[in-house]
Amino acid sequence: MPDMKVNLAGMTMKNPIVVASGTFGFGREYNEFFDLGELGGICAKGLTLLPREGNPAPRIAETPMGILNSVGLQNPGVDAFIKEELPFLRQFDTKVIANISGNTPEEYGIMCDKLAAAGVDMIEVNISCPNVKAGGLAYGTRPDLAAEVTAMARKHAGSVPVMVKLSPNVTDITEIAKAVESAGADAVSLINTIRGMRIDVNTRRPVLKMNTGGMSGPAVLPVAVRMVWEVANAVKIPVLGMGGVAKGEDAAQLMLAGATAVAVGTSLFADPYAAIKVRDELAAIADRQGLASVRELTGGVKPW
């Protein structure tokens, strides 16, 4: 079988499959199904500096080929994660990626200080969050704001690699990717959810209490493949590809588009073994193609 090891910004993983933040909690429930050490990495549920209760229900709704969510970053806070969840995750032979969201650059810096000291393997900086200083605009929609947060995270993360999670809800995602690369990002991950909405035609109310939410699931895969391809050709830092991955072929598409590794997310809700199946199917594809290493897939697309 092909060598499945990959190196993502200096972090060596036994295979290129990561579980996406917000879809795996802190791994406790999925540990009842399989050994978490079989994964290349676990990206934990998004953390904020202080605990958050999240948005009011209803906050999840099904869509054709996916879901809409407006969970609102419900989480116990970074300190509780370090004290209660990180020791649990450290039992397993897998890389631990902490995902963080903040309202100000200073909050990102404080969390990076704490997480770097706690010894996580990587920090994923979610810049698709409201920016209080910019009147509610998301950091991820403006290159200057994205760069500001990235620089703050990089300054406080020490030797821990910083990966910036990019929003697809922009005109040109490569502009944001270049900005965070220039500001010191070690890697980028994409795509985050696509903003969407559903309306109940009988009540005439939005299905979600917050009106709109982030769409994920198989329907977004072609968008993710396109954006990964664009970003991989625009920056020199590695890419963690995600968005609609449900089988090995999906992961292979993202890698051919330029991703070094791939995250599995929404499909885990339908099948808790989805990430393991994607890993095995990806290995089988590489084997059928006679590859010595799965790394040979990265960037291998042949445009017309």
Show which residues are catalytic: 129
Strand boundaries in 107-244, DSSP class E: 122-126, 130-131, 137-138, 162-165, 187-190, 194-196, 213-216, 239-242
Quick one: how many helices (H) and strands (E) in the chain? 9, 16
Whose tokens are 């902490």? That residue is 98
> What residues contact 276, with CB distance under 8 A and at least 6 apart?
34, 38, 39
CA distances from 110 to 106, 107, 124, 211 (A): 6, 5, 14, 32
Tokens of residue 38, six digits:
């079989």
Cα torsion 50, 59, 208, 65: sign: positive
Q: Evaluate whether 256 touches 300 at the Cβ level (below 8 Å).
A: yes
